[in-house]
Structure 1
Amino acid sequence: MPFINVEAHLPGITGLLEYRKESAQPIRDLTQILLRGPSSLTEGERELIATVVSSGNQCKFCTTAHTAAADLLLGETKTAQSVKEDIETAPVSEKMKALLTIAKLTGQSGKLVSDTAIERAKSAGATDIEIHDTVLIAGLFCLYNRYVDGLSTALPDSPAYYDVLADRLVNHGYTRLPQGYDHLKK
């Protein structure tokens, strides 16, 4: 049960973002830029960063949502599951292994990101902007994870909700739907 009164038909982050739209807007804008804006990292790779951080933070809602979005973007379900289990054996490039490791470290504490981790990423071909955006995405998802869990938001009634959410994230991004979310009421 959520600690504050949010709309019951909006589990997870959506209910919180709707609760206080004025604080939600800059968060949504930053998320849209980082996860859907121009980047040398694919949208699927950026969703993997969100997945790894959320999984490390044990945020069930965010982990499930971003796993579903990554799966949809990648067109398969193995990669997101693999990066949650063991980045080093996951079917991603060496550059992504290095960036996902930086993301995971950032999720635990920014101070854990070492010269060695950064050098590994650069040696694998990561650019400064890719390293920057990886750390910023990781930090942003720490915020989301703590926001969702710190206010004890509800989980969806049905696992199918995550497929609908993934479709919305992939096809509409992180901006608020122009029509709002009343259509999700049961």
Structure 2
Amino acid sequence: MPHIALGNESPGIIGLFDYRPETARPMSALAEVLLRGENSLPRGDRELIAAYVSALNDCRFCYNSHAAFAAAQLPEGMDLVEQVRADLGGAPISDKLRALLTIAGAVQESGRKVGDEHIAAAREAGATDVEIHDAVLIAAAFCMYNRYVDGLAALTPDDPADYAVMAQFIVAAGYARDEA
């Protein structure tokens, strides 16, 4: 049960956004740019970064959501998402994505944990400055989103099918919210 009366039964961040649409709009717009906007890093990879950080933060709603969103956009689906969560070093992903996920993991601990060696490894693996920038910002943003959802004890569905339905919507329509 949420810590405050939201006046709706929507799950996770959706319920919080419905409660405060004026804060939802900029937060949704940021997610839209970071996770779906024009970028050389595929959408599925960016969603995987969001899911990975959410797993590190132990945010069940955000992990389950973004794992489903990533799986819907990655050819390897949920198997790959779970492999990354369980063992980043052994997961069958590109060196570039592993380096960006390693940076995201450092950001999750503290922005100051990102060192020159992280950036050098990402560049050596072929990451562009925009991809490095966006990996850092996705990680930082998801630390905020995760704390927002968990800090207000937002409703978290247990049924994976609920997240699959959300994934269909997000993949098709995105994160941007109406200005209503």
TM range, smaller chain: over 0.9
The list of structure 1 runs, each at least 4 consecutive aligned residues, that deviate by more than 4 angstroms after superposition, is: none
Structure 2 contact 47–70 (Cα < 8 Å) conserved? yes
Cα distance in 1, alignment partners of residues 96 and 24 from structure 2? 32
Deviation (angstroms), 1:154: 1.0
Consecutive unaligned residues in structure 1, runs of 5 or more: 181-186
Partner of residue 90, structure 2? 89
Consecutive unaligned residues in structure 2, runs of 5 or more: none
Partner of residue 41, structure 1? 41
Partner of residue 64, structure 2? 64
Aligned residue pairs total: 179
Change beyond 3 A, Cα 1:171–1:63: same
- Secondary structure of the equivalent of 1:87? coil
Residue-by-residue CA offset, 1:107-138 (whole Å, 9 max, x unaligned): 11111111111110011011111000000010
Cα distance in 1, alignment partners of residues 7 and 156 from structure 2? 12
**In the alignment, does 2:52 pair up with 1:52?**
yes
Partner of residue 106, structure 2? 105
Structure 2 contact 45–97 (Cα < 8 Å) conserved? yes
- Secondary structure of the equivalent of 1:40? coil
Within a 5 Å distance, the mapping from 1:148-159 to structure 2 comes to 148-156=149-157, 158-159=159-160
Residue-by-residue CA offset, 1:120-169 (whole Å, 9 max, x unaligned): 00110111110000000101100100000000011126331111111111
* Structure 1 range deviating more: 113-122 or 6-15: 6-15
Cα distance in 2, alignment partners of residues 149 and 90 from structure 1? 28
Cα distance in 2, alignment partners of residues 175 and 7 from structure 1? 22
**Paired amino acid for 1:37:** G
* Structure 1 range deviating more: 19-28 or 168-177: 168-177
Deviation (angstroms), 1:65: 0.5
Partner of residue 168, structure 1? 169
TM-score, with structure 1 as normaliser = 0.92
Partner of residue 117, structure 1? 118
Partner of residue 13, structure 1? 13
RMSD of the TM alignment (CA)? 1.5
